[in-house]
Amino acid sequence: MTSTSFLRLAARQPLLRTSATLPRLVAVVPRVRAKTSLRFYSEGHEESFEEFTARYEKEFENVNDVFELQRNLNNAFAYDLVPSPSVIVAALKAARRVNDFPTAVRIFEGIKAKVENKQQYQQYLDELKDLREELGVALVEDLYPESK
């Protein structure tokens, strides 16, 4: 075969096959719908104040060490509400059980930071006065009076 006839033959056939000239191979794959789990956070159970109180009373009753006490206090005070006096009583008893005086004092600092005004703080102090005296928990105001 001469070189010119070879070039004529090569010019007639395309170098690359296009999709029209390729044999059609179809893989039969069943269509499977992908299951996706969607999370709608707004659809969760909204905890009532009574459920919150019962849950944290139970948490503080089960405290065995200082770490658990402080973790539960951080979680309880992280909500946009002030824990009820019964939760504070359970927390103070847990602080006494694990023998952690500084955390007991800090509980009252947390209450003071969470309440809206001084009257609410005074109501907590009045309600918890007997327990404070029984456990010997002093307030920061008593420990460090402001110098005038």
Domain of 52 in residue numbering reads as 48-140
Give me the CATH number covering residue 60: 1.25.40.40
Asked whether residue 11 carries a pLDDT value surpassing 80, the answer given is no
What pTM was computed for the model? Answer: 0.68
As a whole number of angstroms, the distance between CA 94 and CA 69 comes to 7
| 64 occurs within a structural domain | yes
Query: pLDDT above 90 covers what percent of the chain?
Result: 60
CA-to-CA distance for 103 and 56, rounded, in angstroms?
16
Helix/strand/coil percent split, the chain, to 5? 60, 0, 40
The pLDDT of residue 147: 55
Classify residue 72 as exposed, middle or buried by CB count within 10 Å of its CB (0-12, 13-18, 19+).
buried
Our count of domains for the chain comes to 1
pLDDT at 148: 47
- Domain-embedded: residue 145: no
